[in-house]
Amino acid sequence: MTIHPKAKTGEVLALVPARGGSKSMPRKNLRVIAGKRMVVHSIDHALAARTINRVILTTDDQEIAEVGRAAGAEVPFIRPAEIAQDLSTDYEFVRHALEWLRANEGYDPDLVVQLRPTTPLRDLRHIDRAVEALGEQRRAGGDGHEGRTHRVRRAGEDLGGEGEVERRVEHDLLCRDRHGVSGG
């Protein structure tokens, strides 16, 4: 387990989800864009973010796991096939990762950030700004949405639904506070 002592916003975990079985674009997470495999872009962003303490790749694919480890991500488990299907939800793999980490390591982060490989060219500053905004909100006692989850999505996207707070950023992030996990 590699924990980076960088964050001032509590314990922040980055999850990089990368299935091996995409049907629309086979092996897309291993495709090269701008000189790197797509999954490596997200791992590099997470490792470079000053607000993220730990980077975990969640995958069902051994080759993607090897590429992720070589890039510096932890791969402490292989995602079960039943939650790595076309219709599997983000909630399922986030919950699996958090339950596995809690049961096997006693690790329970304050915040979880999801960095998708399918957004390889993101602005690193947006990751830190989003994490800092959520950290400030938590330190200030929340915003009236106590006990609810917070989703951060693409700029301008309407999240709708009770209890969801929109933050405007230019890439996908899924954030989880100690109160729960939001689906993506």
Comparing 22-26, 29-33, 101-105, which segment has the lowest mean pLDDT? Answer: 22-26
List the structure tokens of 41. 């872009």
Using an 8 Å Cβ cutoff, are 165 and 150 in contact? yes
Residues 104-151: tens digit of each pLDDT: 999 999 999 999 999 998 998 999 999 999 888 877 775 434 444 444
| Average pLDDT value for residue range 84-98 | 93
Q: What is the pLDDT of residue 154?
A: 39
Superfamily for domain range 12-176: Spore Coat Polysaccharide Biosynthesis Protein SpsA; Chain A (3.90.550.10)
Q: Which residues contact 54 (CB under 8 A, 6 or more apart)?
A: 1, 2, 3, 4, 11, 12, 13, 14, 74, 109
Q: Return the amino acid letter for 41.
A: H
Q: What is the pLDDT of residue 142?
A: 57
Count of alpha carbons within 13 Å of 117, Cβ hemisphere only? 28
Plot region of 46 (φ>0 → left; ψ -120 to 50 → alpha; else → beta): alpha
Q: What is the pLDDT of residue 10?
A: 86
Using an 8 Å Cβ cutoff, are 114 and 122 in contact? no
- Return the domain boundaries, the chain: 12-176
